[in-house]
Amino acid sequence: MQILIYGYGNPGRQDDGLGVALVQRAEAWAAEQGLDCLRFENNYQLNIEDAEAISHQDLVIFADASEEDIDDFCLTEVDGQGKLSFTTHAASPGYVVKLCRDLFDKHPRVFLLHIKGYAWDFREGLSDRAQKNLEKAFAYLKNMLKDPTKALESKEELKLC
C-alpha cells in the first residue's frame, strides 16, 4: 500500500504548524522503522498540483491544525466535495481529491487528521496544549500505520470526528 502523509500550515503562526510538525515527526519515525511505503509532503497550504501527487497513492492522510471544537485530534474522511478559495488562494482537501478523480481517474482513500490548536500569533513554536495534542495524534498515526488495512476496515480503530 502506497501512503502519503501530507501536513500543511504555517509554522510561523504557532499552532498553525501542527500539520507540518506531525509530518516531520512521522518522517523521522518511518526512516527509523524502514517503512519505505510511506511518502511525506508539507506546505503552507494545499495547491491544485497536489491532485497529481495524491493520484499515485492508495491512502492519503492530510494533517492540519484545527480551531474546531474537538478534544485533541480526530479524522474525517475526505469525500471530494471541496472548493478552491479565491480569497486565500488555497485548495481544500476535498477539492484536491475532486481534481484527482476528475483529472486522473484515481480514487485513493483520503482522510484529514484534525489536530486541535489554541494559539495563532505570528511566532514560531507550538503551545504546550497543542504539543500534547500532537503527541496523541502522532501515537495514533504510528499505530494506524503499523497495519493500515486493518485500521481502515475497523470503524472502532478510526477516531472519526
Q: Is 3-153 a CATH 3.40.50.1450 domain?
A: yes
pLDDT (tens digit per residue) in 6-22: 999 999 999 999 999 99
* 44-63 pLDDT per residue, tens: 999 999 999 999 999 999 99
User: Within 13 Å of residue 78, how many CA atoms lie on the same side as its CB?
Assistant: 27
pLDDT at 159: 87
What's the confidence (pLDDT) of residue 67?
Answer: 95
Q: What's this model's pTM, rounded to 2 decimal places?
A: 0.93
State whether residue 77 is helix, strand or coil: strand
